[in-house]
Structure 1
Amino acid sequence: MSASASELPSPLLDAYLSHPARSRTDELVDGDGPRRHAEGLAATIDAMGLAGLLAARAEAAGLVSDEGITYGAADSGVREPWLVDPLPLPLDASDWASLERGLTQRAVLLDAVLADLYSDRTLLRDRVLPPAAILAHPGFTRPADRIPAARRRQLVLTATDLAHDASGTWRVISDRTQAPAGAGYAMATRRIVSRVLAGLHRSSDLARLRGFFHAMTGALLDAAPGGSETPRVVLLSPGSASETSYDQGFLAAMLGFPLAEADDLVVSKGRVWLRAGDTLDPVDVILRRVDALLADPLEFRGNSEVGLPGMVETARRGAVTVVNPVGVGVLDNPALIAHLRPVAHALLGEDLLLDSPTTWWCGQEAELGHVLANLERLVVKPVARTGGPAVRYGWLLSAGERDDLARRIREEPWAWCGQEPIELSTAPVVTPTGLEPRRFVLRTFGVASGDDYEFLPGGLGRVAASTREHTVSSLAGTLAKDVWVPASAVEGSEPERVRPRLTLARESALPPRVAHTLMTIGRFAERAEGTARLVKVADDLAEDFSARPGSWGAAASARLVDAVARITRIERWYAESSLGYLTRVALDPRARGGVHHAARRLTSEAQEVRDLMSVDIWSVFSRLERTLASPPDEEDALQPLLADVLESLLAYAGIMAQSMVRDSSWAFLDAGSRLERARHTVSLLRHTMLEPAPGPTADLVADAVLRSGESIITHRRRAASGTGPATATESVRQLLVHDPANPRSVAHSLAALAADLRMVGDERLAGQADAILADVDALADAAPDDAAERLHQLAAALEGLGERIAARHFVRQATRRTAETWSTPRQVG
């Protein structure tokens, strides 16, 4: 039921109703007013006006940046921010309930197809499906034949892209079963929109999303092979270079399962194991986000660097369950869509509740002729989604391009499908000129739950990048929409169910890759902070004495700038001023050893272990990156910028210290920080305090070193009370080297490092840290003439300890092959 024209709530909706790009079916309005289930959204649009909506859009973009939500990975390694439109998209309760029934039937049907194609293949033998449409598809993987299913449903996870057509009927555009991505993005989008439209969100009784992830956790645990008392699940990721790395990390954190890469796993004795310190922990279920053709170099592409050799054979032996199983990619096949109606009758004895646009598979003579004769008006799809040509829209091709496409189809007719185009519905998007209608596609997510399937209420909405786009393609750029489903539309809506888990006898150690990444994070966080403090002090001296060459202060400033160059190893250009050089050390992201470079590495490394990081940390990283990416207008304006940098780094340190459990994860993170701080302090002393300086210069340098080491206040307090040396020069060695109570001292760092090593069970290296600490204590009684040699030895000892930690805990797998030779015969009939 629609509102009358006189009841239109705002000029924004009035203009939207008359927009020439609006489709015959629109998700917000119908006829002359808002749809009944969207009246609350229409009222919010009216109340906020364009200025309020644009503010909400800007706030959403800021929250995306703060939370580090990204999609894709450019060649430069810079990920693009996830784009969110602030307006949610409400669905009618009855519409969602009907859609959910159709999705359930489709998931059950696809699961039955999968089981048949890799067992008896009755669909092929009875010619319900043309054999060439299946056997020639790259998603049909013969090594997956007859792998036993741990539970009734082999298709544990499913995703489906749908759209409303011009009549308002849901149409299935494609199925995504290979490694369904996007549920994490849907949850992240909900979190953003619920904050920027908090009032509307609170007043709307919406189905919650978290229950879906609880269902997924239960489904993965239930998928474990029989006999496993404490199932262990890992999410196998291709790594942070994956375009959906955020989604993978978010999903791992939501489910509570570790994010693993191929190097973290090994196949031995017929099982998959997670490398955990000195031990191997058995793995029962692998949630696979690596494409099947890359998942096992022994069975598929031998040059894959992201697959686990032997994984398929362990699944064949029933020792591990892979979710979704390799071979499931055959379902992501437009040729299957063309024959799904008779398949539904053959397997379920039912009519399809959800249909697709009419599709013709070109592997059959009549269908080939139809597609070639109507090429200018059809959507032409390759049956293989990856590694081949993209979808073509016949009406957008030139005559020459259509001729070339026709030639390619004739050469390999089995590799192509033609599909009747549909007019996608539109949904409103906030723009500076008002609301614009954009084409809309919905991706739904399902998970097997016993014999049935549960679906994420609403799923993830995506809209086209502009009104000129008549399709929704990630390559062309899309915006995300939060899709709202009333709680009443979700059958059996009830409090979230938590599946009880048995307690493990011990907590697992970390895989070498993860341990190394955490220690690297600690190192670069400390390097960024230590360098920023040193540059800030050196810049302060340079500003004070740059106009007074030949003064004691100018000499002290020169020594500090020289120390910056020696510690960071960033070359100073000919005739470059001290202030210009220090600005470059702080802000040039290409300057290895500088502040910006260290901060960028810190963020990049944190992306590798997103599932272990506090959600609050990303806003700190975002603020840090914005600060460093905004150079001051003048060379003498570096001080406030560095103060902001240090504020962000201290916020990072505080969040990590207060949010991480004191386990092996914390131990490696803290160990990196402690070792780097000790190294930096020793290097600072070697390059500032050893060479004699005339007059007050020595005290000025010592004062600067204490300020850089955040110990100047302690020195002054002790000097005033008579409990410490009276001069800064004398305090440097005491406070920054020997004082066990000063968290900035070498002694304190080494003691903490030894405790970290004991926390990970490495008593031998902890003892070596203790031995270095004993040498530091002996340094207190060393003659001044011996200080240079002692500091040199201390630097070498710290370097050696770091190398031994790496050799002991961070060894990656040298070869990528299984520990035994498989001999199980495989025949595909």
Structure 2
Amino acid sequence: MRSPLANNSAPETQPVPNAPYVKPAGAFDEAFDEGRQPRAHWQQLLEHIGRLGTDGMDDRYRRAQRILRDDGATYDLNNDPLSPSVWSLDIIPNVISSAEWAFVEQGLAQRSTLFELIYRDLYGEQQLLKQGIVPSEIVFADPGFLRQCHGMHLPGTKALILHAVDLVRGENGQFVAIGDRTQSPSGSGYALENRTVVSRVMPGLFRDSNVLRLSAFFQTLRQTLAGLVSHKTDNPRVVVLTPGAYSSTYFEHAYLANHLGYPLVQGGDLTVRNGKVWMKSLNGLSPVDVILRRLDDSFCDQAELRADSMLGVPGLLEVARNGNVVLANPLGSGVLEAPGLLAFLPDICQFLLGQSLQLPSVRTWWCGNPQDYDYVVNHLDQLIIKPTYRSFASRSIYGHSLDAKARAETLAMLAKNPAGYVAQCYIPGSQAPIWHEQRLEGRPGILRTFTVATKNGYSVMPGGLSRVAESTAEVIVTKLSGSRSKDTWILSDKPEVEQSAVTEFPRDEAQVTNLPSRVIENLFWFGRYAERAEVSLRLMRTIFKQLNGVEPLPPESRNILLQALSQVTGCLPGFTENEELLEHPNDELATLVTDHERAGSIKANLQAMLACGEQVKEMLSADTRIILNELRDHIHEVDRAYTHGLPSVPEESLDGLVTTLLALSGLNNESMLRGMDWMFQEIGRRTERALLTATLLKATLGKPLPGMQQQLILESLLLSVEALISFRRRYRTGTRIEFGLDLLMIDLSNPRSLIYQVNQLRKYLNELPRNESMTSGLSPENRLIIKSLNDIQLADLAQLAHVDHRHRSRASLQQLMSQIIEQLEQFTSLLSDKYFDHTAGPQQLIKAKWKAEL
């Protein structure tokens, strides 16, 4: 059937009269009824799509993709910061009426209450096991059941803070729960991002549709987290714990941390000392009260759980047991995700709540029960086989898709370990319309819903994260990856009542300005790598211009410039020891531009800078992310230009990279607040520029040349640092080395001079936090900077320019620059030790006197 939207007509296109795709067999259709007419709550949306037409929808789809990319909404970096996978979003929302949602909402609140009680019972009195409601094998054989958490006291009225439930619709349209996420439920941040994007590309429709807002859910989450330690403090220190930038859901972690206003930390940012959890921060060690974790249970503590984990905090579980930190969700909640529990959930609900389960779960048989096992063996082609216990590597087996051999293998697997498997009814996901290849098509979908604990129960997000399959060949959506997401609209009959003013929480100024050491370290290196790439690019462009100039470049001048490039990039020995390379430099120059595996190359530095940016994604502004995306595009353009070696006009191919880096630097200077994040990025930039300027002066002017060749070197050096025009205006026809050193070394009005960088470092150091226990007097890093400043100011330019004819070099200049470089490198080491590492001696994880001190 041809879609009515296939016509590229103007806004007067007729509204959609009926379904543009065939009715799915055995599945519910979200948008169209049995007569293939739009359902009432979909009518307004479908009419709006019809009025937009194909061109209008395509335009909005492109705008949505651009917004997602600019927001940094990636799903998986794939270990390549140049090509992150952008979050897939279909711009047509999934629409649910408020009347239908009211029933779902009640069922979700009851289900979360039930799972909270299950958690408390399994780690408490274990009445479910003692009364035979749940077989012991279901719990004790589950790796998700952590015996270390048994008897652990949890503050607050609710142990389970967040709960996510995956829902599908049966053929009759009834929602059925097929799975629960209780360790670190993901998806709520993506749901919020989807809402932000769709409301921006379809603002009028969103505004007129009476869609229930999501903001109250996140405000409730914030209040709940603060209330977890209200018995101890009115101003809790809350952090969001993430596995890191290469987690598939890292964007969501950064997005939630920003939205909630909490620091985003990794396991290495936290440490256990004296029975408490501390964040390694710019100001030293800062106490942590609540951890909103995005790590699965087993990775959270290397001391008591997985010893091979690189993501957790050794000793964290012991601190939680002692009540000195609260985790949301609590450790051990992974046992609640076991598919085996669903087989007993109706009985559990009656036992713990005295109620029937309002929101039904998918029909489940546990093969450890002989009767259930017989049923599964005889009805295998109608069922889905799953492991009893959920794990990262677990997979489902669809009975209807098995051939004779696979069926026999599955039956043998069940017979070998029946208690290790469950079977569930196969429920194809309901069909939802998506925009694909300029028309509406149907795809099976699934809805992930979210609840958050309150004092009196659970609050349900009015909506959730809808996901649909990318192709018609898929019949069920099982993972966040490899699927397309949708915003979920719950439509009200009337405009939503304006929310009351957001509750103000007391703010600890130290907490607001304090940053994890990892964050400032990445910002420091972000600045350093950006400066390395820029200086290398400028010098590379200058060399290309000189090599391709009208006048031939003398071999001596050429050799010094090429050798300087090897020293500035650090790609040694390079041109410094290879005469053949000096005669035929093209291949080496191309490699220095595009070889990302060669440390020090331009592409390697840019990739390293982008990787640092991904590590601190939550600290970057929207404009910064846009510029970084433009930088990625320019890198790909350069790769294409250098496919067959140096292009015909190689210097022009680098212009886009230089201007983008300049835009990034300008944005940081003009738009960033002068906080510690900006400060350390600037310290990184100034340190690297000082090091490279000293290296350039030493490499280019340290070896004397005859008059015209020396002038070419000086002019090339000035050109590479954008100072040639200023030099000519100031000194007219003079080209003496002293004049160049005056401008590049000791001129405080030149923002690229050596003294300017060191002077800026001195100013920034005076604004950094000082350890209160530190004795009065200058710190070691201050001494080094002041010494470098004095060395530059006291330098005799005539002496520096003097040629030692015996050694055929400017020995004084080389010696001074070597000394400055050594002092700056010592400075970076001291800075790292003081503000990034916070190293301390070994400590016991458990001390008997801790509890007495609490």
Secondary structure at the residue paired with 1:91?
A: strand
**Greater Cα offset, 197-206 or 765-774:** 197-206
State the AA in 1 paired with 2:768: V
Q: Unaligned stretches of 5+ in structure 2?
A: 5-11, 771-777, 803-811
Is residue 45 of structure 2 the alignment partner of residue 28 of structure 1?
A: no
Q: Secondary structure at the match of 1:616?
A: helix
Q: Is the 8 A contact 2:738 2:801 kept in 1?
A: no
Q: Does 2:723 align with 1:718?
A: no
Would you say 1:521 and 2:547 are equivalent positions?
no
- Distance in 2 of aligned mates of 1:683 and 1:565: 11
Q: Distance in 2 between matches of 1:454 and 1:119?
A: 25
When residues 197 and 728 of structure 1 are mapped into structure 2, their CA distance, relative to the original with a 3 A threshold, is farther
Deviations 1:199-248 (A, max 9, x none): 43344332332332222111111112622232101112222221111111
| Residue number in structure 2 paired with 1:613 | 620
Aligned match of 1:60 = 64
1:379 match: secondary structure: strand
- Partner Cα distance (1:293, 1:108) in 2: 24
Where does 1:400-479 land on structure 2 (aligned, <5 Å)? Answer: 400-432=405-437, 434-474=439-479, 477-479=482-484
Match of 1:273 among 273, 278, 281: 278
CA distance in 1, matches of 2:380, 2:849: 49
Q: Mean Cα displacement is larger for which, 168-177 or 188-197?
A: 188-197
Residue 765 of structure 2 contacts residue 782 of structure 2 at CA under 8 Å; is this kept in 1? Answer: yes
Structure 1 residue identity aligned to 2:790: A
CA distance in 2, matches of 1:495, 1:268: 41
| Equivalent residues of 1:23, 1:426 under 8 A apart | no
**2:564 paired residue number:** 563
Tell me whether 1:72 sits opposite 2:50 in the alignment.
Answer: no
Amino acid at match of 1:57: Y
Could you tell me how far apart the structure 1 residues matched to 2:205 and 2:320 are? 48
Alpha-carbon distance in structure 2 between the residues aligned to 1:643 and 1:535: 11
Instruction: Check the 8 A contact 2:255/2:618 in 1, yes or no.
Output: yes
Structure 2 residue aligned with 1:800:
826
CA distance in 2, matches of 1:133, 1:755: 63
Residues in 1 aligned to 2:332 and 2:209: alpha-carbon distance in whole angstroms? 42
The answer to which of 772-781 and 661-670 deviates more is 661-670
Q: CA deviation at 1:290?
A: 1.4
User: Which deviates further from its counterpart, 351-360 or 495-504?
Assistant: 495-504
Who is 1:596 aligned against?
A: 603
Instruction: Pick the aligned partner of 1:750 from 744, 758, 766.
Output: 758
- Asked if residue 768 in structure 1 is aligned to residue 784 in structure 2, the reply is yes
Task: Note if 1:626 corresponds to 2:652.
Answer: no
Alignment match, 2:806: none
C-alpha change, 1:805 and 1:132, in structure 2 (3 Å) is same
> Structure 1 residues 698-707 or 580-589, which shifts more?
580-589
- Contact kept in structure 2, 1:287 and 1:324, CA below 8 Å: yes
Name the amino acid aligned to 1:760: L
1:607 and 1:411 map into 2 onto residues whose CA distance is 46
1:587–1:629 Cα contact (<8 Å) kept: no
Deviation of the 1:282 alpha carbon: 1.5
Q: State the one-letter code of the partner of 1:458.
A: G
What letter is aligned with 1:156? Answer: I
Residues 615-672 of structure 1, C-alpha deviations (whole Å, 9 max, x = no match) = 3322211110111112354713444442221222122223333444333322222111
Aligned counterpart in structure 2 of residue 647 of structure 1, from 636, 639, 659: 659
Alignment pair present for 1:587 and 2:594: yes
Q: CA deviation at 1:76?
A: 6.0
Summarize deviations over 1:559-593 as a string: whole Å, max 9, x none: 43332223213336966855554444233323321
Q: 1:349 to 1:823 in 2, by over 3 A?
A: farther
Q: Corresponding residue for 1:383?
A: 388
Aligned to 1:733: 741
The alpha-carbon deviation at position 321 of structure 1 amounts to 0.7
- What does residue 486 of structure 2 align with? 481
Matches within 5 A, 1:245-260: 245-260=250-265
Q: Select between 342-351 and 808-817 the one with higher mean Cα deviation.
A: 808-817
- Tell which deviates more after alignment, 307-316 or 810-819: 810-819
Counterpart contact for 2:19–2:38, Cα < 8 Å? no
Q: Distance in 2 between matches of 1:230 and 1:407?
A: 58
Residue 134 (str. 1) matches residue 130 (str. 2): no
Bigger shift: 491-500 or 417-426? 491-500
DSSP-derived class of the 1:155 partner = coil
Secondary structure of residue in 1 paired with 2:225: helix
| Equivalenced residues, count | 812
- Tell me by how many angstroms 1:730 deviates: 4.2
Match of 2:50 among 26, 29, 46: 46
- Identify which range, 57-66 or 73-82, moves more after superposition: 73-82
Partner residue, 2:9: none
Distance 2:52 2:601 in 1: 45
Residue 698 (structure 1) aligned to one of 691, 706, 710: 710
Using the alignment, how far apart are the partners of 1:17 and 1:292 within structure 2?
Answer: 46
| Separation in 1, partners of 2:495, 2:331 | 31
Equivalent in the alignment of 1:239: 244
8 Å CA contact 1:543, 1:636 repeated in 2: no
Report the aligned-residue RMSD: 2.9
Q: 1:125 aligns with which of 113, 130, 149?
A: 130
1:19 to 17, 22, 28: 22
2:218 maps to 1:213: yes
Match of 1:83 in 2: 88
SS at match of 1:740: coil
C-alpha contact 2:75 2:481 (8 A) present in aligned 1 = no
Deviates more, 1:94-103 or 1:483-492: 483-492
Does the 8 Å CA contact 2:277/2:288 hold for their aligned counterparts?
A: yes
C-alpha separation in 2, matches of 1:204 and 1:728: 74
Partner SS state of residue 17, structure 1: coil
1:427/1:463 contact within 8 Å kept? yes
Query: CA 1:698–1:461 in 2, change beyond 3 Å: closer, same or farther?
Result: same
**Secondary structure of residue in 2 paired with 1:820:** coil
Shift in alpha-carbon separation, 1:363–1:158, aligned structure 2, 3 A: same
CA distance in 1, matches of 2:213, 2:728: 57
Corresponding position of 2:367: 362
Range with bigger deviation, 816-825 or 704-713: 816-825
Moved more, 458-467 or 193-202: 193-202
Between 758-767 and 134-143, report the one with greater CA deviation.
Answer: 758-767
C-alpha distance 433-817 of structure 1, shift in aligned 2 (>3 A): farther
**Alignment-derived partner of residue 759 in structure 1:** 767
Secondary structure, counterpart of 2:789 in structure 1? helix
Q: Could you list the per-position Cα deviations for residues 418-470 of structure 1 after superposition, in whole angstroms to 9, with x for gaps in the alignment?
A: 00011211112222262221111111122112222223321111111210000
Matched residue of 2:272: which SS?
A: strand
C-alpha spacing 1:636/1:187, structure 2 compared with 1 (3 Å) = farther
2:298–2:305 contact (8 Å) kept in structure 1: yes
3-state SS, counterpart of residue 705 of structure 1: helix
* Residues 505 and 128 of structure 1: CA distance in aligned 2, closer, same or farther (over 3 Å): same
Q: Which is worse superposed, 104-113 or 753-762?
A: 753-762
> What is the CA–CA distance in structure 1 between the aligned matches of 2:507 and 2:519, rounded to whole Å?
25
| Residue of structure 2 equivalent to 1:176 | 181
8 Å Cα contact 1:161-1:441 kept in structure 2: yes
Q: Provide closer, same or farther for how the CA distance between residues 298 and 819 of structure 1 changes in structure 2, counting only shifts above 3 A.
A: closer
More moved, 120-129 vs 51-60: 51-60
Shift of 1:773: 0.9
Q: TM-score, normalised by structure 1?
A: 0.92
State the secondary structure of the residue aligned to 2:794.
helix
Taking the aligned partners of 2:192 and 2:408, their CA distance within structure 1 comes to 44
Residues 265-321 of structure 1: CA distance to partner in whole angstroms, max 9, x if unpaired? Answer: 122222111223463222111111111111112221222221212211211111111
1:25-66: per-residue Cα shift (whole Å, max 9, x none)?
222222322222222321232123333333333333333222
State the TM-score, normalized to the length of structure 2. 0.89
